[in-house]
A and B are shown apart, each in its own frame.
Chain A
Amino acid sequence: MEKRLDAATMILPMFGIGLVLMIWTALSLKVAPDLPSPLRTWQESQNYILNPFFKDGEMNQGILRFAFLSLIRVAKGFLLAIAIGTPLGFLLGLSANFHRAFDPVIQVLRPISPLAWLPLGLVIFKQSEPAALFTIALCAMWPTVINTAMGVRSISSEYLNVGRVLKLSPLKKLSKIMIPATLPYMFTGYRLSLGMAWLVIVAAEMLTGSPGLGGFLWQEYNSLVYSHILLSVISIGLIGFALDRLMSVVERRFKTA
């Protein structure tokens, strides 16, 4: 594919960013005096960005160190989510009765906020780390479940007929036809699930006080260092964006036909 880099594609994003910075500055000057301006945010945060790997205690680390801690936690929760979500989606897609039995439960569980799951996780696991993973997995699982189920249901009868004519064994049918045919849907689900997991991480770390971008954000709020809230917010946004790009590259690789 050819990339066109004309003036508009270069300048317009800059314009958008500039406008947001202006609104931010205006807010900090006129409306909310406690909100640090972009300049002050940079001045007070530069150590975290320029020395992204320093470590001066659990809750005072370079931004990439915090990001790394959060990413590890997200990765664990995300893997748990897709490990449970993919087979569940397959069962829902394959069996109408399974779908009838569990679809209502899923539809009820799906809109529950991570803020609601976390206390329950703490009650069950008594420790913050497993409770955080439990919350991430439970919230991030649904896009994988729903997309996988939809993928299985929309496998073309053409492909299934090939399997029927060849009398493939159930295992062969699964590995040679059903899984490859569902893969594009599964990866759409994975991309959405990863986005969800990243959304949940902040809430999970805030409530459990674990070191990471969300934990740091909450601690700095309590310590009244508001510029570091903004630092965390921007880092979370940039990393979330990067994760989504990365997953959509992977997703595109699996688009067949």
Chain B
Amino acid sequence: MAYLEIKGVGKSYRRNATGASADSARLAVLSDINLAIDENEFVCIVGRSGSGKTTLISLIAGLLEPDAGEILLEGKRISGPGPDRGVVFQNYSLLPWMNVFENVYLAVDAVAPHLAEAAKRQRAEHYINLVNLSAAMKKVPRELSGGMRQRVAVARGLAMDPKVLLMDEPFSALDALTRGTLQEELARIWMETQKTVVMITNDIDEAILLADSIYTLTSGPGATLGPAVRVQTPHPRSRAQLIDEPSYQRVRRETVNVLMAGRTSSAVDSAVEKKLLH
């Protein structure tokens, strides 16, 4: 049995446009999503913007309830959010009135209230060190760059010591150089912590660098997952090594093909498409 299992999950939103007939009053965002993820696996879900990626991660996080199907973690049905699923939000979602340490400490304190004060502090500091932010411990979010903020968000997610770490386009708002650094750091941290990770991205290269399996989300409405593309290259991977590898080109082509196959003319976001195809 898989560690994290998504079975026939669908989600629709109420259509707020006028003139829709009664039976089409709801807009299906996701339909019949099936996914099985093993423990310690790093899974990337690639899709265009507007394809329902954030909806999918919110469903796994429990911030949204599916209309159909169910999501199981270690065989237990998920209902509502919980600290067993750490979330790294796209917009960082740090609390601006707390400094770096306090933001991470809040998470430690919430998931392990029984620990002694010193142990909690130590755990928070450990994860801040892990993302190379010890020097910025006392800074508040507005004093940090985007990349640093996202590191804090990653540290907070890890400090919860969740069973699964969910990441919603964590690096998409960052410049290319910072993104590259953070991707490599995330790969290192993943090797060290051996967490199960589900990461949403619109960057195929990011997915190939980090993931064991890549799933593509077809364009919505009613988006669903395409077949998995496995990345067999052993970790740790480097960008330079990947480019020379024949399997990289194969994986890349497969992923793009799956993405293109599911496209509908109306939902094409040309900017993203260009990015995907180079």
Check B17 for interface membership: any CB of A closer than 8 A. no
Task: Tell me the smallest distance from the CB of A35 to a CB of chain B, in Å.
Answer: 52
Among residues of A, the one whose C-beta sits closest to the C-beta of B92 is A158
Residue contact A257 to B141, C-beta cutoff 8 Å: yes
CB B37 to nearest CB in A, in angstroms, measures: 19
Closest approach, in angstroms, between the C-beta of B11 and any C-beta of chain A? Answer: 17
Judging by beta carbons under 8 Å apart, are A166 and B110 in contact? yes
Q: How far is the CA of A177 from the CA of B61 in the complex (A)?
A: 20
Given A161-B63, A257-B141, are A166 and B106 neighbors across the interface (CB < 8 Å)?
A: yes
- Contact: A164 with B93, CB < 8 Å? no
Q: Known contacts A161-B89, A176-B106; is A166 also within 8 Å of B160 by CB?
A: yes
Min distance, Cβ A245 to any Cβ of chain B, angstroms: 24
- Residues of A in contact, count (CB < 8 Å): 17
Residues of B contacting A: mostly: loop
State A201–B131 Cα separation when bound (angstroms): 56
Q: A166, A176, A181 — which one has the most chain B CB atoms within 10 A of its CB? A: A166
A30 CB-CB contact with B under 8 Å:
no
Q: With A and B bound together, what is the CA distance between A161 and B89 in angstroms?
A: 10
Given A165-B63, A165-B83, A165-B85, CB of A158 within 8 Å of CB of B93: yes
Q: Would you call A165 and B95 a contact (CB within 8 A)?
A: no
Known: A158-B89, A158-B91, A257-B141. A166 touches B111 (CB 8 A): yes
Our pick among B95, B97, B111, B141 for the contact of A162 (Cβ within 8 Å) is B95
> Cβ of A183: which chain B residues have Cβ within 8 Å of it?
97
Asked whether, in the complex, the Cβ of B110 is within 8 Å of the Cβ of A159, the reply is no
* Interchain nearest-CB distance for B169 vs A (Å): 14
Q: Considering the chains assembled together, what is the distance between the CA atoms of A109 and B208 in angstroms?
A: 63
The reply to whether B89 and A167 contact each other, CB–CB distance below 8 Å, is no
Q: Are B111 and A165 in contact (CB-based, < 8 A)?
A: no
Rounded to whole angstroms, the CA-CA distance of A159 and B110 in the bound complex is 15
B96 within 8 A of A: yes
Contact call A162/B93, Cβ cutoff below 8 A: yes
Q: CA–CA, A165 to B97, complex, Å?
A: 19
A40 interface residue (CB < 8 Å to B): no
> Measured between alpha carbons, how far is A164 from B98 in the docked complex, in Å?
18
Residues of A within 8 A of B91 (CB): 158
The answer to whether residues A256 and B81 also contact, given A161-B89, A165-B61 and a CB cut-off of 8 A, is no
Instruction: Check B83 against A180 for contact (C-beta < 8 Å).
Output: no
Question: A252 contacts the other chain (Cβ, under 8 Å)?
Answer: no
Q: Is B86 an interface residue (CB 8 A)?
A: yes
Are A166 and B95 in contact (CB-based, < 8 A)? Answer: no
- CB of B142 within 8 A of chain A? yes
A256 adjacent to B107 (CB under 8 Å): no
Select from chain B the residue with minimum beta-carbon distance to A158: B93
Residues of chain A lying within 8 A (CB to CB) of residue B160:
166
| Nearest chain B residue, comparing its CB with the CB of A162 | B93
Which 8 A/B pairs are nearest by Cβ-Cβ distance? Answer: A257-B96, A166-B110, A180-B97, A158-B93, A256-B96, A164-B81, A165-B81, A256-B97
Q: Which residues of A contact B (CB under 8 A)?
A: 158-159, 161-162, 164-168, 172, 176-177, 180-181, 183, 256-257
- Give 13 new A-B contacts, CB below 8 A, not counting A166-B111, A256-B97: A158-B89, A158-B91, A161-B81, A161-B93, A162-B89, A162-B95, A164-B63, A165-B83, A168-B110, A176-B98, A176-B106, A181-B97, A257-B142
A sample of 25 cross-chain residue pairs with beta-carbon separation below 8 angstroms, ordered by A number, consists of A158-B89, A158-B91, A161-B81, A161-B87, A162-B93, A162-B95, A164-B80, A164-B81, A165-B63, A165-B83, A165-B85, A165-B86, A165-B87, A166-B83, A166-B106, A166-B110, A166-B111, A166-B160, A167-B110, A172-B110, A176-B106, A181-B97, A256-B96, A256-B97, A256-B142
